[in-house]
Amino acid sequence: RYDRAIPGRYRLIPTEDMRTKLAADYRRMSAMIFGTPPAFAEVMASIEALEQYLNVATTNGGAP
């Protein structure tokens, strides 16, 4: 929904309930990833960092 995409307030981090479901799904599909898959916590940390970066960049005119 584009009406909820407000610069500086982007939300990429899933809710706790959804994170639990995603973690279970990630464990089930990890065999499909070539090589050693990153830990789910690392994936979530990357998403959190991206969310922070996007929100800072959009409130500072593109400069994080």
Nearest CA to 26 out of 37, 34, 36, 35 is that of 37
pLDDT per residue over 40-55, tens digit each?
999 999 999 999 999 9
The residue ranges of every structural domain in the chain are 2-59
Q: Which helix (H) or strand (E) holds 23?
A: helix 16-29
pLDDT confidence of residue 22:
97
pLDDT higher than 90, residue 27: yes
Q: Tell me what percent of the residues of the chain surpass a pLDDT of 90.
A: 64
